Structure 1
Amino acid sequence: MRRLRRLLLLLTCLAIAVPPVAVYSDAVAQERVQRRTVLDLLFGGFGFGRRAQQQPNYQQRQQQHRPQTRSEKPKTKKKVPPAIAVPEPVVVAKLPDARKVLVVGDFIASGIGDGLTEAFTEMPGVAIEARTNGSSGLVRQDYYNWQTELPALIDEIKPAVVVLSLGANDRQMMTIGGSKEKFRSEAWSKEYEQRVAALSSFVLEKKVPLMWVGMPAFQTTSMTADMSAFNTIYRGTVEKTGGTFVDIWDGFVDESGKFVVTGSDINGQQVRLRGSDGVSMTKAGKRKMAFYVEKEIRRILGDAMTIGQPQGGEAVSNLVVTTPTDAADIVRTQPISLTDPALDGGTVLLGGSALDKGSGRSPRDKMIQKGEFAAAPEGRVDDFRLDKRPQPIDPQKATN
């Protein structure tokens, strides 16, 4: 009992001697670093985990007080430069007495008309008049008859040149004398050739130059073959009547003669020439078709190309193709193949002389076969003569 009283008295004294415990705020308690023991170092005790939890808070406080660098400034929207205004093409007013070029035919002729309009847009002395019917041809005269429509157009417009292109819609049966003939039969081909001759002869009888533009290749193989056959008829018939046949075939095929969608434009750049259907022409394709016709038009119109042109500008007269006034001024020579000249009949280039006939053996062959060495010219590096002085000429040998 005495021991118990002594123990209670001792505890009471200790409670009086101990000062009151200070109350810390939550923030101070969180920042207080607890002492780490050996067990904490070995097994990662409470102190290590406490620091790991405090680390994010420290980084957050650093991020809050860290100054903003130049690269972290709020990005502003880039100013989009204003779109460059594309200048509209210069429209040149045509002169009242401008030479007119009449373009007639189907949808291929319509494309040629668009290309020629672009080619001569800055030339006041030349006007393009396109009067085409995209679905017309020479077979269905009941739908559109060019033999009756073309005379009226020539009398109305009074053109200086007529550009004609037909045939893309003519792959069909033809009515001849009340009966229908199959496409490209003997009777069909004969009648078709007569219609081509009649149309071209009528234009030439009006004393108007005619340029018949051939058909290009198309995407389908059968249509391309038919267009090639048409071009043969056009060339033979039109040139026989006195017109000019303009061949555009090579401009729309590759080196092997196959249809191409893309190719070179008039400036040599690779562009799309044909539409997705393999029949129609793009703007670049129309311009390329017109390029073949443009050269011939410039030759025919001559001085009309420079009428109304400002002085000091581009010399349009340089683009005009002129022919020699006298046929005697034309110099001709046989073509010569670069690989085998003997096959085409030509052995001498223009202005050259005939080659010296030889044995056909080279100096190397002579050296190997007979041990003959060709004498080196004086002064050359392989001139190994001991006495290189010029030898006197023997008069007796010279006379012999």
Structure 2
Amino acid sequence: MRLARLLIFCLGVLILVTDARPVFAQAWDMIEEQQDRQIRERGGGNTGLIDMLFGGSRRERSRRTVEPGGTGSRDAVTATPRITLIEKDAEAGVVVVIGDTLATQIAIGLTELYTDEPSVVVEDRSDGASGLVRTDRRNWFDAVPEILATPRLAAVVIVVGLNDGQDLRGDDGPVPFGTDAWMNEYRSRVSGLALALSTRAVPIIWVGLPPVRPAQLGERLQLINRLLREGTLGTAATYVDVFTAFADANGHYTRQGPDMDGQNRNMRSSDGIHFTSAGRVRFAHFVERFIPRGANEQRLAALGIQAAVYQGSALSEDGIGPIVSLEAAPGSAIALDVDPDEVLPRDENAVARLVEGQALPTLAGRADDFSWPPQAALPARPAQHPANEFDGL
């Protein structure tokens, strides 16, 4: 009898220990539900003791989402960023962004970067499914006259290639991706578009493709990046390589990276291709430095900047654009909005020390004097005291 009572007591303690937490949780939920119901009946107002102590009910806290680009699991890539636009100047320069879905990403980032800049307007003319391989969706060559006719055009930003890892349609049938014929034709199209856009004296900024998580797609995009770089050579376009900026130490895809404040955050969305809010801003940051603020053709002319202009877009037989000596001002001079004539002359001493790495001359007897045999040390200078009105008294 005593043993049976002991077993019943132990069983009761075990049930109490294992069920206590769910029971308490249920009781807590009941309290929260009752308070939430009272709040709804009152139509707002005081949130009760639980909210006052813990800042809102558990149910409300569970519905809070992580800001896009944070370290949480939700990226909300498709969410439109909250950007409060200020009134732009009537003569604000227009930055036209063209290309595929990554161009859309960079246009959003540029819009956010120029939120407080009244002298720059960003126009997103991208087409997410477009490219240079297939022209049935969007033919960017046909769009060139419309782009160049944009009033107050300040710059053209191009991001294209994400959809181009496929066979070309040739006159004699499909041209397989990666073959010599495919690479020559693709390089030719890059040069042709860059040259066609260069007929107006505005910066042409061609942005390379970032690393992506899908392995097969990533390999194809690396080849396309090489062709983009080669195709823009000999044109007025500036090629901006962003691959290493979004890669890890081994040159592979990584989701995280430093934001504009240096904080480590998620730069890429869950699909491994697009960007989070923080990533879009950083993506656009690499382009912003090449865009003159409030610059258009008249503004550039006022600064004395002669931009390279090409008449026509004829290509050589090998499909490469003509390699010419550009007389345009360096990008740093344009971005800093200074007259190139104000650039300081070449300092041979600075070049020898900072570029060629030559050591500074040593003084005999100083700690960094390693000459052999040792040089004769200079005699010590006598101590000098400043003169005062009491000297000679």
TM range (shorter): 0.5 to 0.7
Q: Does 1:149 align with 2:164?
A: no
CA distance in 1, matches of 2:378, 2:195: 70
User: Relative to 1, partners in 2 of residues 1:378 and 1:204: Cα closer, same or farther, differing over 3 Å?
Assistant: closer
CA distance in 2, matches of 1:187, 1:375: 67
Q: Does 1:348 align with 2:348?
A: no
**CA root-mean-square deviation:** 3.6
User: Relative to 1, partners in 2 of residues 1:294 and 1:330: Cα closer, same or farther, differing over 3 Å?
Assistant: farther
CA distance in 1, matches of 2:147, 2:242: 25
User: Relative to 1, partners in 2 of residues 1:98 and 1:254: Cα closer, same or farther, differing over 3 Å?
Assistant: same
CA distance in 1, matches of 2:173, 2:260: 46
CA distance in 2, matches of 1:237, 1:115: 26
CA distance in 2, matches of 1:250, 1:323: 30
Q: What are the equivalent positions in structure 2 for 1:306-317 lying under 5 Å apart? A: none
CA distance in 1, matches of 2:216, 2:273: 13
Q: What are the equivalent positions in structure 2 for 1:83-232 lying under 5 Å apart? A: 90-157=84-151, 159-232=153-226
Amino acid at match of 2:271: D
Structure 1, 253-262 or 320-329: larger mean CA deviation: 320-329
Structure 2 match to 1:333: 351
**How big is each residue's C-alpha offset from its partner over 1:282-313, in whole Å with a ceiling of 9 and x where there is no partner?**
11111111000111113683998xxxxxxxxx
* SS, match of residue 169 in structure 2: strand
Give the greater-gyration-radius structure (CA): 1
Structure 1 match to 2:49: 77
**How big is each residue's C-alpha offset from its partner over 1:248-279, in whole Å with a ceiling of 9 and x where there is no partner?**
11221112211100111121111111111111
CA distance in 1, matches of 2:226, 2:178: 13
User: Relative to 1, partners in 2 of residues 1:235 and 1:330: Cα closer, same or farther, differing over 3 Å?
Assistant: farther
Tell whether the 8 Å contact from 2:99 to 2:127 is kept in structure 1 after alignment: yes
* SS, match of residue 251 in structure 1: helix
User: Relative to 1, partners in 2 of residues 1:79 and 1:185: Cα closer, same or farther, differing over 3 Å?
Assistant: closer
CA distance in 1, matches of 2:236, 2:346: 21
CA distance in 2, matches of 1:263, 1:230: 24
User: Relative to 1, partners in 2 of residues 1:298 and 1:138: Cα closer, same or farther, differing over 3 Å?
Assistant: same
**How big is each residue's C-alpha offset from its partner over 1:53-107, in whole Å with a ceiling of 9 and x where there is no partner?**
xxxxxxxxxxxxxxxxxxxxxxx82453699xxxx75430122221100000001
Structure 1 match to 2:39: none
Amino acid at match of 1:188: W
Amino acid at match of 2:336: V
**How big is each residue's C-alpha offset from its partner over 1:361-386, in whole Å with a ceiling of 9 and x where there is no partner?**
x89xx9xxxxx9x899899xxxxxxx
**How big is each residue's C-alpha offset from its partner over 1:34-71, in whole Å with a ceiling of 9 and x where there is no partner?**
xxxxxxxxxxxxxxxxxxxxxxxxxxxxxxxxxxxxxx
Structure 1 match to 2:259: 265
Aligned residue-pair number: 265
Question: Which of 201, 224, 231 is the matching residue for 1:237?
Answer: 231
Structure 1 match to 2:336: 321
* SS, match of residue 292 in structure 2: helix
Q: What are the equivalent positions in structure 2 for 1:50-65 lying under 5 Å apart? A: none
List alignment gaps of at least 5 residues for structure 1.
1-75, 305-318, 337-344, 357-361, 367-371, 380-400
**How big is each residue's C-alpha offset from its partner over 1:337-358, in whole Å with a ceiling of 9 and x where there is no partner?**
xxxxxxxx93416xx34999xx
Task: Give aligned-pair identity as a percent.
Answer: 29
* SS, match of residue 153 in structure 1: helix
Tell whether the 8 Å contact from 2:95 to 2:120 is kept in structure 1 after alignment: yes
CA distance in 1, matches of 2:250, 2:363: 35
Tell whether the 8 Å contact from 1:203 to 1:209 is kept in structure 2 after alignment: no
User: Relative to 1, partners in 2 of residues 1:348 and 1:257: Cα closer, same or farther, differing over 3 Å?
Assistant: same
Tell whether the 8 Å contact from 1:348 to 1:354 is kept in structure 2 after alignment: no
User: Relative to 1, partners in 2 of residues 1:184 and 1:375: Cα closer, same or farther, differing over 3 Å?
Assistant: closer
List alignment gaps of at least 5 residues for structure 2.
1-47, 61-81, 300-333, 365-369, 380-393
Displacement of 1:235 after TM fit? Answer: 2.1
Q: Does 1:283 align with 2:277?
A: yes
Tell whether the 8 Å contact from 2:187 to 2:230 is kept in structure 1 after alignment: no
* SS, match of residue 340 in structure 2: coil
CA distance in 2, matches of 1:335, 1:182: 51
Amino acid at match of 1:136: S
User: Relative to 1, partners in 2 of residues 1:113 and 1:335: Cα closer, same or farther, differing over 3 Å?
Assistant: farther
CA distance in 2, matches of 1:378, 1:151: 73
Tell whether the 8 Å contact from 1:110 to 1:134 is kept in structure 2 after alignment: yes
User: Relative to 1, partners in 2 of residues 1:347 and 1:375: Cα closer, same or farther, differing over 3 Å?
Assistant: closer
* Deviant stretches of 4+, over 4 Å: 353-356, 374-379
* SS, match of residue 239 in structure 2: strand
Tell whether the 8 Å contact from 1:174 to 1:182 is kept in structure 2 after alignment: yes
CA distance in 1, matches of 2:345, 2:143: 42
User: Relative to 1, partners in 2 of residues 1:325 and 1:284: Cα closer, same or farther, differing over 3 Å?
Assistant: same
CA distance in 2, matches of 1:229, 1:335: 38
Tell whether the 8 Å contact from 1:200 to 1:243 is kept in structure 2 after alignment: yes
CA distance in 1, matches of 2:172, 2:138: 18
* SS, match of residue 169 in structure 1: coil
